[in-house]
Amino acid sequence: MGRWQPNAHGRLEQAALELFAERGYESTTVAEIAERAGLTERTFFRYFADKREVLFSGSGGMREFLVTRVAGAPAGQPPIEVVVGALAEAAASYLEPRRELACRRRAVITDNPELRERELVKLAKMASMLGDALRRRGVEEPAASLAAEAGMTAFKSAYARWAEGGGRGSLADLVRASASELQAVTAAGARPKG
């Protein structure tokens, strides 16, 4: 192995996802991930605290992106539109270019209860951060929290459909469609027939 190899982070992520799919998350070791990537365990730990972090390392940048988008949304735009717009932009910027990895990541998380719990915590933090960003824009409670939670609900639904649906539509479009569906479900006229 050479001292420096390009894109170590990406290679480690790719190797981990391949091994998680082949052997399962629990059965894969950091040493195996590093070996598959052609790197050392020491290099692995420069990028990730543990193998779980391979699956969750990108969320900090996405949270910052969302806060920036919420802060920069046009004045007077309804809170739910601000949140959905920010989530759709984040989907296009962060997840669409990495669709294959994002879909593999979701499959690994779905198969592991500990990782599902971690994913829910991550999404709850995003909703809380979105609510905080809306409050800084002057949106009062409970509107700020409700818009943030509703936006995250639409995002989760869209992400599941996108990851399972092959090539049908962009994640950004699915986020907007899910938000519209949620709005239709909660509209006063949306009552069961019969």
Does residue 142 share a domain with residue 92? yes
Report how many domains make up the chain: 2
Please name the residues in contact with 167: beta carbons below 8 A apart, sequence gap of 6 or more.
none
Using CA atoms, how far residue 113 sits from 26, 27, 85, 116, in Å, is 11, 15, 30, 5
Give the residue from 49, 51, 61, 47 showing the smallest Cα distance to 10. Answer: 47
Q: What is the pLDDT of residue 1?
A: 45
Q: What percent of the chain has pLDDT over 70?
A: 92
Q: What is the CATH number of the domain that holds 81?
A: 1.10.357.10
26 CB-near residues (< 8 Å, 6+ apart): 112
Question: Is the pLDDT confidence value at 27 over 90?
Answer: yes
| CA 156/CA 175 separation, integer angstroms | 8
Same structural domain for residues 70 and 14? no
CATH code of the domain containing 17: 1.10.10.60
21/93 same-domain check: no
Residue 20 has pLDDT above 90, yes or no: yes
The reply to whether 191 falls in a domain is: no
> The domain containing residue 18 runs over which residues?
8-54
pLDDT in tens, 138-182: 999 999 999 999 999 999 999 988 988 755 789 999 999 999 999
**How much is the average pLDDT of 29-51?**
94
Residue 190: pLDDT band by 50, 70, 90 thresholds?
low
Q: What is the pLDDT of residue 189?
A: 56
Can you give the pTM of this predicted structure? Answer: 0.83
* Rounded Cα–Cα distance for residues 90 and 68 (Å): 11
What span, in angstroms and rounded, lies between the C-alpha atoms of 61 and 11? 19
Do 65 and 35 belong to one domain? no
The answer to the question of residue 93 being in a domain is yes
